[in-house]
Structure 1
Amino acid sequence: MSEKTELKKSIGFFPALALVMGTVIGSGVFFKVSAVTETTDSVGLTFLVWILGGIMTICGGLTASELAAAIPETGGMTKYLERTFGDFWGFLSGWALAFIYFPANVAAQAIIFSTQLINLFHLDKGLLLPIAFLSALTVFLINLMGSKAGGMLQSVTLVVKLIPLVLIIVFGLMQSDKVDFSLFPPMDSGSGSLFSIIGTGLLATMFAYDGWMHVGNIAGEMKNPKKDLPLAISVGIGLVMAVYLLVNAAFMLTLPISALAGNENAAADTAMRLFGDQGGKLITMGIMISIYGSMNGYTMTGMRVPYAMAENRMLPFSNQFLKVSKSGAPWFSGLILFIIAMVMVTMGAFETITNMLVFVIWFFYCMTFLAVMVLRKKEPNLERPYRVPLYPVIPLIALLSGLFVLGNTLFTQTALALIGIGITLLGVPIYYYKKKQNNRFA
């Protein structure tokens, strides 16, 4: 291992597009259907929630792309917030991303990967932790070879993961089963008000759509970030939304909503119904490859956030976080991410972890949407190769949608929201300690 070197510019448009789609299309599309249908108890309302989630994400992507193109720096969102609101908010977002968000995402993907492997081959459930550990470890080792190796894995898994998606969509849509379509849940469902149902459903879809923002973390390693980055984000999200709607249509036509609600094996059960036992197993293997690719996306982007923070000397042991491998990968940052993720794996609770992550990350997403409007006034002469269309309508839609999700979560899942806030605030004393230390040696 060598000391700090410059990160290599080796990523083009397709690897960036693959990173957006590959990171987004992971476990969410297959395993959040159970949470969404359990909440909505309605076929039509399920589709409405997925559509609203897609619109929110597209508006968010189109908005954040302006910053990604204007400020193409490694670190992504942390750099946008630092430039707009000051280094405190840049640090806090980086803290939440580096030591909560990315490790927990890797942990969630590893848990689901391991669970599916055990169910597929009828292995001992006691192997859950070892398999999860090994899956995350192999992804980490591949990324030590540099961003080109990680990008290549992302491109390959994107192509492979589309196979089960396409097959489920094509054969699922050919089913002749009729479904009852209504935009509203049964009045006697007892599942709460329409707004709370939509809010809770959106919380689940936001995890399935998440991952698009963090391609900005590798802007410093892209060949042409000002052109390729906003295009990769906007095109990628649009394609993901289309895929999600078609997949859900296939699920609904294959299994009744009662068989989907609360069923974490809904995707595997759908595959078995469509393709039989052996065919279903092959499809499940494709789904596992999808999850593995998502784990790679979160590892690849996540390990670069502490690196960017360490450049500002805002982390304990910053010199260690700045160390890169011979191929230019920030290996120490990746090692810390892996260790934290494995601690989280031992804690389990897939749904709780993912819902908390969505709450924490959307707080900073909302700040990013606001940053676009603030910088328009604060730095009108900033070079903006890409400008969000229909300004300020789209940024406002993104911001208000995000605030709705945050507010609904705070009122309906208060304990979960407070835990997320509490863990994020743990970074505050570290910020002031490092700030004081840096001023002392300035």
Structure 2
Amino acid sequence: MGETDLKKGVSGLTALTVVVGTVIGAGIFFKPTAVYGAAGSPGLGLIAWILGGVIAIAGGLTVAEIGTIYTETGGMMIYLEKVFGKWVGFLVGWAQMVVYFPANIAALAIIFATQIVSLFDLSESILVPIAVGTASFVIILNLLGTKYGGFIQNSATFLKLVPIAVIIVAGLAYSGGGVVRLFPISVADHPVVTSLGSALVATVFAYDGWMNVGTLAGEMKNPGKVLPKVIIGGLSIVMAVYILINIAYLFVLSPNELAATDTPAAAVAHGLFGNFGGKLVTIGILVSVFGGINGYTMSGLRIPYTLAKQNMLPFSHWFGKLHPKSAMPVNGGFVMLIISLIMILSGQFNQLTDLMVFVIWIFNTLTFAAVVKLRRTEPTLHRPYRVPLYPVVPIIAILGGLYIILNTLVVQPENAALGLLLTLAGIPVYLYCKKKNN
């Protein structure tokens, strides 16, 4: 059912807080390891954080246009189905079900377990069991009803800002730290083009969530005027926070030290506040990561159910069944849990996030292209909001997306091949369901 009757009750301030709260998650606490490991220098690392923000802003401004045209529930699935055909829209949902959401849940569960092991000086042999238990607990809790997941999400949204603020203030005031130098940009064994690309893939994960910005358009009184301000303002705030906290990191630890630790934010907190203070900040980071797992779980549970209601999955009746008490899609939730647990067994946080980024950015880039195609094929279509500086902004978004995709194909061909294989496995599923429905 379309959401054409949504109340126009979302203010600019509310939308701004949604943007900031959705995007700032666990990536800023853990991706410095991958960013500075790939970049090799503080200058190239900071450039990657800035470029990630610029691409996110360009992407948000572009997607918002198509979001004001097609306001039905489904987001990117609806956009691509309307412009490129039903099979492309199905592949988005399929990729979200088997790669995007499970990989996010698995990666964050691994990070949560890594923090627990570090906090309590436990054996790394129990890291995977902790991650498995965490992901299972969060998914099962959400299957009991939306009130449980909602409570966790609301609490974590506010609490996650505490360790960020503490690290930024204390890090910038740190008297024993070093100097952050932008030059030289490159160092030995780190070619600028591929190193920047790998670092950019890492920062893009930290900016993940901006795609949801356009879904607010249908509930705004004047989206054409408010939406660009919200996107530019919200993502600029996020980018400023990310740059400031990275400068704070670099005041305390060198790029090599950040690249060498699995828990960069906790290591910085330990350097700033000592053992006890560092553990307190680490607890705050744990709350943020737990909230991130919960957020992706809440959204991910709806994907198999949505596809099932369209009869686009084998055993759609089974996937689309709701629990009589919780009214939650339990069967689809358990399938997503199984996929997440298989991914957790790999134990690879950065590999999982790179896999997720590669797959979802294929569809992100297609969505940017869909905006350009609609301008050419449907020039008279009513657009409550138009991308500013068209076609420059969409081109920036498309080029940024292509750079991320091509760099992953070159630098991580096996990971890219796995992502493509899992995504294209949806084509025979689509053909089977289409034939069955006909």
Tell me, in whole angstroms, the C-alpha distance in 2 between the residues paired with 1:235 and 1:153: 27
Code of the residue aligned with 1:204 in structure 2: it is: A
Shift in CA distance, 51/183, structure 1 to aligned 2, threshold 3 Å: farther
The question of whether the paired residues in 2 share the 8 Å contact of 1:64 and 1:369 is answered with yes
Candidates 267, 277, 280, aligned match of 1:279: 277
Tell me, in whole angstroms, the C-alpha distance in 2 between the residues paired with 1:70 and 1:375: 10
Per-residue deviation at 1:93? 1.3
Code of the residue aligned with 2:315 in structure 1: it is: F
Tell me, in whole angstroms, the C-alpha distance in 2 between the residues paired with 1:320 and 1:402: 36
Shift in CA distance, 206/225, structure 1 to aligned 2, threshold 3 Å: farther
Code of the residue aligned with 1:115 in structure 2: it is: T
The question of whether the paired residues in 2 share the 8 Å contact of 1:35 and 1:262 is answered with no
Q: Does 1:320 align with 2:313?
A: no
Residues 191-340 of structure 1: pairs in structure 2 closer than 5 A: 191-192=190-191, 194-214=192-212, 235-325=233-323, 329-340=328-339
Aligned to 2:66: 67
The question of whether the paired residues in 1 share the 8 Å contact of 2:15 and 2:216 is answered with no
Any idea what the Cα deviations from partners look like across 1:285-341, whole Å, max 9, x if unmatched? Answer: 111111111111211111222222223211112123323355654333333222211
Residues 27-106 of structure 1: pairs in structure 2 closer than 5 A: 27-106=26-105
Tell me, in whole angstroms, the C-alpha distance in 2 between the residues paired with 1:21 and 1:140: 24
Aligned to 1:24: 23
Query: Relative to structure 2, which stretch is displaced further, 297-306 or 51-60?
Result: 297-306
The question of whether the paired residues in 1 share the 8 Å contact of 2:94 and 2:426 is answered with yes
Aligned to 1:409: 408
The question of whether the paired residues in 2 share the 8 Å contact of 1:315 and 1:434 is answered with yes
The question of whether the paired residues in 2 share the 8 Å contact of 1:103 and 1:338 is answered with yes
Tell me, in whole angstroms, the C-alpha distance in 1 between the residues paired with 2:406 and 2:345: 30
Shift in CA distance, 266/327, structure 1 to aligned 2, threshold 3 Å: same
Tell me, in whole angstroms, the C-alpha distance in 2 between the residues paired with 1:234 and 1:313: 38
The question of whether the paired residues in 2 share the 8 Å contact of 1:44 and 1:183 is answered with yes
Tell me, in whole angstroms, the C-alpha distance in 1 between the residues paired with 2:299 and 2:241: 23
Code of the residue aligned with 1:179 in structure 2: it is: V
Q: Which blocks of at least 5 consecutive residues in structure 2 are unaligned? A: none
Query: Relative to structure 2, which stretch is displaced further, 122-131 or 97-106?
Result: 122-131
Per-residue deviation at 1:205? 0.9
Any idea what the Cα deviations from partners look like across 1:160-211, whole Å, max 9, x if unmatched? Answer: 0000000000010112433251344345x1222x211211111111111112
Shift in CA distance, 226/416, structure 1 to aligned 2, threshold 3 Å: farther
Tell me, in whole angstroms, the C-alpha distance in 2 between the residues paired with 1:107 and 1:291: 12
Tell me, in whole angstroms, the C-alpha distance in 2 between the residues paired with 1:292 and 1:231: 30
Shift in CA distance, 411/287, structure 1 to aligned 2, threshold 3 Å: same
Aligned to 2:142: 143
Shift in CA distance, 431/135, structure 1 to aligned 2, threshold 3 Å: same
Name the SS of the counterpart of 1:324 in structure 2: coil
The question of whether the paired residues in 2 share the 8 Å contact of 1:118 and 1:128 is answered with yes
Aligned to 1:434: 433
The question of whether the paired residues in 1 share the 8 Å contact of 2:135 and 2:337 is answered with yes
Shift in CA distance, 76/157, structure 1 to aligned 2, threshold 3 Å: same
Tell me, in whole angstroms, the C-alpha distance in 2 between the residues paired with 1:60 and 1:45: 22
Code of the residue aligned with 2:294 in structure 1: it is: N
Aligned to 2:178: 178
Tell me, in whole angstroms, the C-alpha distance in 2 between the residues paired with 1:99 and 1:397: 29
Q: Does 1:350 align with 2:349?
A: yes
Tell me, in whole angstroms, the C-alpha distance in 2 between the residues paired with 1:294 and 1:233: 21
Code of the residue aligned with 1:311 in structure 2: it is: K
The question of whether the paired residues in 2 share the 8 Å contact of 1:75 and 1:304 is answered with no
The question of whether the paired residues in 1 share the 8 Å contact of 2:93 and 2:303 is answered with yes
Tell me, in whole angstroms, the C-alpha distance in 2 between the residues paired with 1:372 and 1:226: 20
The question of whether the paired residues in 1 share the 8 Å contact of 2:205 and 2:357 is answered with yes
Per-residue deviation at 1:214? 4.4
Name the SS of the counterpart of 1:52 in structure 2: helix
The question of whether the paired residues in 1 share the 8 Å contact of 2:180 and 2:251 is answered with no
Per-residue deviation at 1:81? 0.5
Code of the residue aligned with 1:324 in structure 2: it is: L
Per-residue deviation at 1:77? 0.8
Shift in CA distance, 262/122, structure 1 to aligned 2, threshold 3 Å: closer
Per-residue deviation at 1:18? 6.0
Query: Relative to structure 2, which stretch is displaced further, 301-310 or 18-27?
Result: 18-27
Tell me, in whole angstroms, the C-alpha distance in 1 between the residues paired with 2:364 and 2:46: 24
Per-residue deviation at 1:412? 2.1
The question of whether the paired residues in 2 share the 8 Å contact of 1:214 and 1:301 is answered with no
Tell me, in whole angstroms, the C-alpha distance in 2 between the residues paired with 1:232 and 1:103: 29
Per-residue deviation at 1:12? 6.3
The question of whether the paired residues in 1 share the 8 Å contact of 2:39 and 2:186 is answered with no
The question of whether the paired residues in 1 share the 8 Å contact of 2:168 and 2:248 is answered with yes
Per-residue deviation at 1:19? 5.8
Per-residue deviation at 1:436? 0.9
Aligned identity (percent) is 47
Tell me, in whole angstroms, the C-alpha distance in 2 between the residues paired with 1:430 and 1:314: 8
Per-residue deviation at 1:144? 3.2
Per-residue deviation at 1:401? 1.0
Code of the residue aligned with 2:135 in structure 1: it is: A
